[in-house]
Amino acid sequence: MALPLMPKATAVWLVENTALSFEQIADFCGLHPLEIQAVADGEVAAGIVGLDPVANGQLTRAEIVRCEANPDAVMRINATDYPQPRAKSKGARYTPVSKRQDRPDAIAWILKHHPELSDSQICKLIGTTKPTIQSVRDKTHWNATNIKPRNPVTLGLCTEPELEKAVTLARPRSGIIPPAPEPEERAE
Protein backbone atom coordinates (compact mmCIF):
# COMPACT_ATOMS: atom_id res chain seq x y z
CA MET A 1 0.00 0.00 0.00
CA ALA A 2 1.22 3.49 -0.79
CA LEU A 3 2.15 5.62 2.20
CA PRO A 4 1.46 9.32 2.56
CA LEU A 5 4.19 11.90 2.14
CA MET A 6 5.82 12.78 5.45
CA PRO A 7 4.06 10.04 7.46
CA LYS A 8 4.94 11.38 10.94
CA ALA A 9 3.68 14.87 10.13
CA THR A 10 0.51 13.34 8.69
CA ALA A 11 0.11 11.23 11.84
CA VAL A 12 0.50 14.34 14.02
CA TRP A 13 -2.27 16.10 12.07
CA LEU A 14 -4.59 13.07 12.19
CA VAL A 15 -4.09 12.66 15.96
CA GLU A 16 -4.79 16.35 16.61
CA ASN A 17 -7.70 16.85 14.20
CA THR A 18 -9.63 13.57 13.96
CA ALA A 19 -11.23 10.92 16.17
CA LEU A 20 -9.54 8.03 14.37
CA SER A 21 -8.10 5.13 16.38
CA PHE A 22 -4.37 4.77 16.84
CA GLU A 23 -4.48 1.55 14.79
CA GLN A 24 -6.19 3.30 11.86
CA ILE A 25 -3.68 6.14 11.87
CA ALA A 26 -0.76 3.72 12.25
CA ASP A 27 -2.01 1.59 9.36
CA PHE A 28 -2.51 4.62 7.11
CA CYS A 29 0.88 6.19 7.92
CA GLY A 30 2.91 2.97 8.01
CA LEU A 31 3.90 3.46 11.64
CA HIS A 32 3.49 1.34 14.78
CA PRO A 33 0.39 1.97 16.96
CA LEU A 34 2.62 2.59 19.99
CA GLU A 35 4.40 5.32 18.05
CA ILE A 36 1.03 6.94 17.30
CA GLN A 37 0.16 6.72 20.99
CA ALA A 38 3.48 8.39 21.83
CA VAL A 39 2.65 11.14 19.32
CA ALA A 40 -0.71 11.64 21.06
CA ASP A 41 1.01 11.75 24.48
CA GLY A 42 3.48 14.35 23.20
CA GLU A 43 6.52 12.11 23.75
CA VAL A 44 7.36 11.75 20.06
CA ALA A 45 7.26 14.32 17.27
CA ALA A 46 6.97 17.26 19.67
CA GLY A 47 8.51 19.70 17.17
CA ILE A 48 6.82 18.33 14.05
CA VAL A 49 4.14 20.50 12.49
CA GLY A 50 1.13 18.47 11.34
CA LEU A 51 0.59 18.01 7.60
CA ASP A 52 -3.03 18.08 6.46
CA PRO A 53 -3.58 15.05 4.16
CA VAL A 54 -6.91 16.52 2.99
CA ALA A 55 -5.29 19.77 1.84
CA ASN A 56 -2.60 18.01 -0.16
CA GLY A 57 -5.07 15.58 -1.76
CA GLN A 58 -3.90 12.34 -0.14
CA LEU A 59 -7.16 11.82 1.74
CA THR A 60 -10.73 13.08 1.50
CA ARG A 61 -12.86 14.43 4.33
CA ALA A 62 -15.48 11.76 3.46
CA GLU A 63 -12.90 9.01 3.94
CA ILE A 64 -11.99 10.38 7.39
CA VAL A 65 -15.68 10.59 8.42
CA ARG A 66 -16.28 7.02 7.15
CA CYS A 67 -13.37 5.67 9.20
CA GLU A 68 -14.28 7.69 12.29
CA ALA A 69 -17.73 6.05 12.24
CA ASN A 70 -16.29 2.52 11.94
CA PRO A 71 -13.15 1.81 14.02
CA ASP A 72 -12.50 -1.36 11.99
CA ALA A 73 -12.46 0.48 8.65
CA VAL A 74 -9.15 0.96 6.88
CA MET A 75 -8.34 4.34 5.33
CA ARG A 76 -7.27 4.31 1.70
CA ILE A 77 -4.99 6.91 0.18
CA ASN A 78 -6.35 8.77 -2.85
CA ALA A 79 -5.06 7.60 -6.19
CA THR A 80 -3.62 10.51 -8.10
CA ASP A 81 -2.86 10.93 -11.76
CA TYR A 82 0.41 12.65 -10.92
CA PRO A 83 3.44 10.83 -12.27
CA GLN A 84 5.20 8.83 -9.57
CA PRO A 85 8.86 9.60 -8.98
CA ARG A 86 11.19 7.04 -10.50
CA ALA A 87 13.97 5.51 -8.52
CA LYS A 88 17.20 7.27 -9.33
CA SER A 89 19.74 5.01 -10.95
CA LYS A 90 22.97 4.53 -9.13
CA GLY A 91 25.60 6.82 -10.54
CA ALA A 92 29.30 6.23 -10.63
CA ARG A 93 30.36 3.95 -7.83
CA TYR A 94 32.75 5.52 -5.34
CA THR A 95 35.43 3.24 -3.93
CA PRO A 96 37.35 4.43 -0.89
CA VAL A 97 41.09 4.97 -1.31
CA SER A 98 41.82 2.07 1.04
CA LYS A 99 40.01 -0.40 -1.28
CA ARG A 100 41.24 0.85 -4.65
CA GLN A 101 44.26 -1.45 -4.65
CA ASP A 102 41.82 -4.39 -4.30
CA ARG A 103 40.05 -3.70 -7.60
CA PRO A 104 42.56 -5.53 -9.85
CA ASP A 105 42.32 -8.58 -7.56
CA ALA A 106 38.52 -8.51 -7.84
CA ILE A 107 38.70 -8.09 -11.62
CA ALA A 108 41.03 -11.09 -11.88
CA TRP A 109 38.64 -13.19 -9.77
CA ILE A 110 35.63 -12.23 -11.90
CA LEU A 111 37.50 -12.92 -15.15
CA LYS A 112 38.52 -16.33 -13.81
CA HIS A 113 35.20 -17.43 -12.27
CA HIS A 114 32.63 -15.59 -14.40
CA PRO A 115 34.02 -15.08 -17.91
CA GLU A 116 30.47 -14.59 -19.20
CA LEU A 117 30.30 -11.11 -17.64
CA SER A 118 30.86 -8.30 -20.10
CA ASP A 119 33.34 -5.52 -19.41
CA SER A 120 30.52 -3.04 -18.88
CA GLN A 121 28.91 -5.31 -16.27
CA ILE A 122 32.24 -5.62 -14.44
CA CYS A 123 32.62 -1.82 -14.59
CA LYS A 124 29.23 -1.34 -12.95
CA LEU A 125 29.76 -4.10 -10.42
CA ILE A 126 33.16 -3.06 -9.12
CA GLY A 127 33.34 0.57 -10.18
CA THR A 128 36.31 0.37 -12.48
CA THR A 129 37.17 1.25 -16.08
CA LYS A 130 37.40 -0.85 -19.22
CA PRO A 131 41.12 -0.12 -19.73
CA THR A 132 41.83 -1.48 -16.24
CA ILE A 133 39.85 -4.64 -16.99
CA GLN A 134 41.71 -5.06 -20.29
CA SER A 135 45.10 -4.57 -18.64
CA VAL A 136 44.28 -7.19 -15.99
CA ARG A 137 43.02 -9.57 -18.70
CA ASP A 138 46.19 -9.08 -20.82
CA LYS A 139 48.45 -9.11 -17.73
CA THR A 140 49.82 -5.71 -18.71
CA HIS A 141 48.61 -4.03 -15.53
CA TRP A 142 51.39 -2.06 -13.81
CA ASN A 143 51.05 -4.32 -10.74
CA ALA A 144 50.35 -7.58 -12.61
CA THR A 145 52.93 -9.58 -10.64
CA ASN A 146 51.13 -8.91 -7.36
CA ILE A 147 47.53 -9.48 -8.52
CA LYS A 148 45.88 -12.42 -6.77
CA PRO A 149 42.27 -13.27 -7.73
CA ARG A 150 40.07 -12.47 -4.72
CA ASN A 151 36.29 -12.45 -4.43
CA PRO A 152 34.90 -8.89 -4.76
CA VAL A 153 32.18 -9.68 -2.21
CA THR A 154 34.70 -10.51 0.51
CA LEU A 155 36.69 -7.43 -0.48
CA GLY A 156 33.58 -5.29 -0.01
CA LEU A 157 33.51 -3.95 -3.57
CA CYS A 158 30.02 -5.33 -4.29
CA THR A 159 27.31 -7.35 -2.57
CA GLU A 160 26.44 -10.99 -3.17
CA PRO A 161 22.97 -10.17 -4.62
CA GLU A 162 24.52 -7.68 -7.06
CA LEU A 163 27.04 -10.29 -8.23
CA GLU A 164 24.37 -12.99 -8.57
CA LYS A 165 22.10 -10.64 -10.51
CA ALA A 166 24.89 -9.71 -12.93
CA VAL A 167 25.77 -13.38 -13.47
CA THR A 168 22.16 -14.45 -14.05
CA LEU A 169 21.72 -11.64 -16.57
CA ALA A 170 24.94 -12.52 -18.36
CA ARG A 171 24.44 -16.29 -18.68
CA PRO A 172 21.60 -16.27 -21.25
CA ARG A 173 23.39 -13.61 -23.32
CA SER A 174 26.61 -15.59 -23.46
CA GLY A 175 24.96 -18.95 -24.07
CA ILE A 176 26.33 -20.49 -20.88
CA ILE A 177 23.75 -22.68 -19.23
CA PRO A 178 24.13 -23.37 -15.53
CA PRO A 179 24.56 -27.06 -14.70
CA ALA A 180 21.31 -28.79 -13.89
CA PRO A 181 21.05 -30.28 -10.39
CA GLU A 182 21.58 -34.02 -10.35
CA PRO A 183 18.42 -36.04 -9.63
CA GLU A 184 18.35 -37.56 -6.18
CA GLU A 185 18.04 -41.30 -5.85
CA ARG A 186 14.94 -42.55 -4.12
CA ALA A 187 15.23 -45.01 -1.28
CA GLU A 188 12.71 -47.77 -1.89
Does one domain contain both 169 and 105? yes
> Looking at the domain assignment, is residue 42 inside a domain?
yes
Q: pLDDT tens-digit profile of 109-147?
A: 999 999 999 999 999 999 899 999 999 999 999 999 999
Q: Which of 48-52, 87-91, 106-110, 169-173 has the highest mean pLDDT?
A: 106-110
CA distances from 109 to 114, 128, 178 (A): 8, 14, 19
Domain span at residue 121?
A: 97-174
In angstroms, the CA 74 to CA 79 distance is 15
165 and 102 in a common domain: yes
Q: Which residues contact 40 (CB under 8 A, 6 or more apart)?
A: 15, 22
| Residue 154 domain flag | yes
